[in-house]
Amino acid sequence: MMPKVCVIQPILASYRDPIFRELNHLLGNELLVCASPAPTGFGRIQNPVYEIHDPGWKKLGMFSYMPVRSLRQLLRRSDRFIHFGDFKFLSLWFLMFYCFFSHKKLWLHGQGGYKRSGPLHRLVYSLSVFLCEGYICYTEYSAQALKKILPRSLRHKVIVVSNTLAMEPAECHRNPETGSSLLYIGRLRKGCGIELLLESAARLKLTVKVIGEGPAGYVDKLKAQFPSARFYGGVFDPQQQEDIARDCMAGVYGGDAGLSVVHYMALGLPVIVHGDIKKHMGPEPSYVVDGVNGLVFLRGDVESLVNCIAQLRDSKALRQSLGEGALETFKRLMKPSMAQKLARILEN
């Protein structure tokens, strides 16, 4: 049996499936994805073409670990690993030292620690990058932040593979009817800022189309408080998503965003997010350039968000310009694709 490339993730979300399908093809069907099934709100994988192994993650206080039997199985079957960069997973530390003292190779993949820069933080990242083949950062922004906290001798190990979505770009901004609705895509969770968005839209008498799931009681409360909003639940079919977005003038995230901004760009929509990058869920909002592919408001400030939305509502030319900028940003992130970039790293 050929040694497999093993990608280790905490969960297997449906938006990663197209990337893993392409990566599996590029690697000659040698991909093994080690991840637990995704909870509600992340979609389900249908008929995967790559092998999936559920590690059965265990908890130990604030830490998590993989049972020894699962870890042994992965080490026996794989010689190259990509592991998500969460240092609270004890199995990651074992894998780093094991690979360092063996012929096996390990790359970390994550946000790059741009949110903190204290002494302990620097030590953890410096040690982990030293032990591994390299650290694959989600964005150029997070890569530059990581390099700043690493010794010069380790900075060459920092690699950028833009975190994105494998989907066909749409051109919703070309629809002459745009201007009547706003789009929200994402989980309805703490910090998502959906209430700030709904309140801002209500002031401007605009409709918000919400794609995403959350606790039933919370969603019911939002529906009662903001009756003009349309809640579609979890929609994972790209064509359905595009149909919903067709008359939207922008994709807006009222709170702390991540990959949702890429989704908006793929739909050809201007992106509106707050400008405090360290507070966001991930570094992907760094793709948003104010006045080029979107608009930026002050975090938690309803008046600032209202002003941004009003700018777009009142200017078809601005909607068109920012929408084109968003789509061009997405196309640039996709060339070459995320799977192609990962395959090059693994093969070299």
Co-location of 28 and 134 in the same domain: yes
Cβ atoms 34, 6 nearer than 8 A: yes
Per-residue pLDDT of the chain (348 residues; tens, 9 = 90+): 456 899 999 999 999 999 999 999 999 999 999 999 987 777 778 888 999 999 999 999 999 999 999 999 999 999 999 999 999 999 999 999 999 999 999 999 999 988 887 899 999 999 999 999 999 999 999 999 999 999 999 999 999 999 999 999 887 656 645 668 999 999 998 889 999 999 999 999 999 999 999 999 999 999 999 999 999 999 999 999 999 998 899 999 999 999 999 999 999 999 999 999 999 999 999 999 999 999 999 999 999 999 999 999 999 999 999 999 999 999 999 999 999 999 999 987
Co-location of 9 and 123 in the same domain: yes
179 torsion bin: left (phi>0), alpha (psi -120 to 50), beta (else): left
Give the residue numbers spanning the domain of 212.
181-333
Closest CA to 166 of 234, 107, 110, 238: 238
Closest CA to 234 of 173, 178, 172, 184: 184
Co-location of 301 and 241 in the same domain: yes
Does the residue 150 lie in any domain?
Answer: yes
Q: How many domains does the chain have?
A: 2
Cβ atoms 317, 323 nearer than 8 A: no
Co-location of 160 and 207 in the same domain: no
Residue that has been written with the tokens 């395959």 in this structure: 343
Co-location of 280 and 222 in the same domain: yes
3-state helix, strand, coil in the chain (%, to 5): 45, 20, 35
